[in-house]
Amino acid sequence: MRKTLNLLGWISVFVTIFTLILTLLTTYQFIYIRYFDSYFTLQCSMVVTLTLFGITMFDSKYKFKNVMFSLFCMALAVGTMFFIWMRVY
């Protein structure tokens, strides 16, 4: 289970990087891709990535550092979801 979450986390990191690149290229009008003309796709991929990494870090050994990193990732994911909910994209 832990290896699967770790693999999904790293796959989501690469998807987020790819999404960031396409969003920047579309925002600066080098190319136009319909779903990347706002930051909504980037925010959604960041929520998935941060949630997966938060779960992965919390699932590992219960050290204070791992718990703090996990809570920080979850707080960033919740903050990003708040901005999605407020339609700031």
Q: What is the mean pLDDT of the chain?
A: 91
pLDDT digits (tens, 9 = 90+) for 11-31: 999 999 999 999 999 999 999
- The span from the CA of 11 to the CA of 39, in Å, is 20
Supply the pLDDT for residue 59. Answer: 66
For residue 76, the enclosing domain spans 2-85
State the first-to-last Cα distance of the chain, in angstroms, to the nearest integer: 34
Residue 49, Cβ neighbours under 10 Å: how many? 25
Whats the size of the chain, residue-wise? 89
Tell me, letter by letter, the H, E, C secondary structure of 9-43: HHHHHHHHHHHHHHHHHHHCCCCCCHHHCCCHHHH
pLDDT band at 60 (very low <50, low <70, confident <90, very high): low
